[in-house]
């Protein structure tokens, strides 16, 4: 399975509010792509635009170079932010129904339903009504609905919200496996630690515009350097205060996390620390995704 989703110059305004302002990015096959941005950045509008649920003022959504139409969308899977299932319908029948709407025959839909319910560990709830399931299990059913037809593109809006760690692990593993199998996976989340664990690539947007995008490794290692220094007996990191070009990002149990400007010589920092006491830790660290996120938005 291979594919490439291209969003080009998406624009959408609701009266005076601009939701998308010329947004462009790509989602390649084989990667889990995290879609990040503060509340109101335009993430949900972008995802809805991919499925034609929002009319665009300008721009285009393309799949493998061609404009996306109804035939392409039948091969996509979508999990909206506000979960959508028939509350009184049986889980198994609901998934078979969604499978058939995506073009599967009745036997194929039944088989795929069994497979995904098994995979997400809710096979015993096949005959239950959706409304009697717990929030976590409803989330799993919703994800199964997006996956039942083995989509080429998977778009998930906040798929991890409200889940316990076991649920996050289970759903996260499914996303990674799908990407490994060649699917394009785009998902939004506010839980940046999980995004960092799951994603190879991230796209960060704000005010409907692209702020930055790239692989997590590139973003974590580029830009300002992170230095962690621990001085024996020092709990306040007073020695680091006021160093030119150095910002104290965090002091945690005696370890001070410093952000260095490009002009700062890290040896100078070491010398200052050694004057304050015996240095027991001195190491460079990658930028956390949360730091990448915050810095991108400032």
Partner 1 sequence: MKFLYIGIVVVVVVTLRLWMFRARRKRRATEDQVPGATHDRMVKSPLLGSARARIGRAVGEPLGTVGIIAMREITERVRGRILRVGTLLILVVVAAAIVIPTLDSSSGGLTAQTVGIVGPLSPQIEQVVNSAAKQDQDSVRFVREPSITAAKAALRSGRLDFTIADADLVLLNQPATSSSSPADPTLVQDVAEYLGVVRAYEAAGLTRAQAAQVDQAKAVPVHTLQPGTKTKSKAVSIIGLVLLFFMLTQYCTWILIGVMQEKSSRVVEVLLATVRPIQLLGGKVLGIGMVALGQATLVLGFALVLGEAVGSNLLHGAEPVALLAELLWLVLGYAFYCWVYAAAGSTAERQDQVQTLVLPLSIPVLVGYVFSITVASSGKPDLLFKILAYVPLTAPFCMSVLVSLSQVTWWEFVLSVLVSLAATVGMAIFAARIYRRAVLRTGGRVKVRELLAGSAH
Binding site for partner 1 (CB under 8 A): 48, 51-55, 70, 73-74, 76, 78-80, 82-90, 92-93, 97-98, 100-102, 106, 124-129, 145
Write the Ramachandran bin of 177: left for phi over 0, alpha for psi from -120 to 50, otherwise beta: alpha
Per the document, the length of the chain is 298
Least distance between partner 1 and beta carbon 292 (Å): 30
Q: Residue 288 and residue 219: Cα distance in Å, rounded?
A: 9
To partner 1, the closest distance from the beta carbon of 155 in angstroms equals 9
Q: Which structure tokens are listed for 169? A: 């692990």
Q: Considering beta carbons, is residue 82 or 267 the nearer one to partner 1?
A: 82
- Tokens standing for 288? 């956390």
Query: Is the CB of 84 or the CB of 277 nearer to partner 1?
Result: 84
For partner 1, the closer CB: 101 or 238: 101
Q: 80 or 245, CB closer to partner 1?
A: 80
Minimum CB–partner distance for residue 185 and partner 1 (Å): 16
For the bound state, the minimum distance from the C-beta of residue 209 to partner 1, rounded and expressed in Å, comes to: 21
Nearer to partner 1, 87 or 182 (CB): 87
For partner 1, the closer CB: 92 or 172: 92
């Amino acid at each position: 399975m291979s594919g490439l989703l291209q969003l080009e110059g998406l624009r959408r305004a609701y009266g005076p509010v601009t939701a998308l302002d010329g947004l462009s990015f790509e989602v390649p096959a084989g990667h889990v792509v995290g879609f990040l941005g503060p509340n109101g950045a335009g993430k949900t509008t972008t995802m809805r635009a991919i499925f034609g649920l929002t009319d665009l003022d300008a721009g285009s959504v393309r799949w493998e170079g061609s404009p996306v139409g109804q035939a392409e969308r039948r091969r996509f899977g979508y999990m909206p932010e506000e979960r959508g299932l028939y509350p009184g319908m049986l889980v198994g029948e609901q998934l078979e129904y969604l499978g058939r709407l995506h073009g599967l025959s009745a036997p194929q839909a039944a088989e795929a339903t069994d497979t995904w319910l098994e995979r997400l560990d809710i096979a015993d709830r096949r005959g239950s009504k959706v409304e009697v399931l717990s929030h976590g299990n409803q989330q799993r059913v919703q994800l199964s609905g997006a996956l039942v037809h083995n989509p080429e593109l998977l778009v998930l809006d906040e798929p991890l919200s409200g889940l316990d760690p076991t649920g996050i692990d289970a759903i996260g593993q499914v996303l990674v496996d799908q990407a490994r199998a060649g699917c394009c996976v785009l998902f939004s989340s506010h839980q940046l630690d999980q995004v960092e664990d799951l994603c190879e690539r991230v796209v960060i947007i704000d005010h409907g515009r692209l702020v930055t995008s790239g692989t997590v490794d590139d973003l974590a290692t580029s830009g300002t350097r992170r230095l962690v220094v621990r001085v024996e007996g020092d709990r306040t990191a007073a020695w680091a205060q006021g160093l030119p070009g150095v910002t104290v990002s965090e002091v945690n149990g005696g370890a001070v996390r410093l952000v260095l400007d490009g002009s700062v010589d890290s040896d100078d920092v070491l010398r200052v620390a050694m004057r304050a006491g015996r240095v027991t830790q001195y190491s460079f660290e990658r930028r956390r995704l949360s730091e990448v996120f915050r810095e991108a938005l400032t």
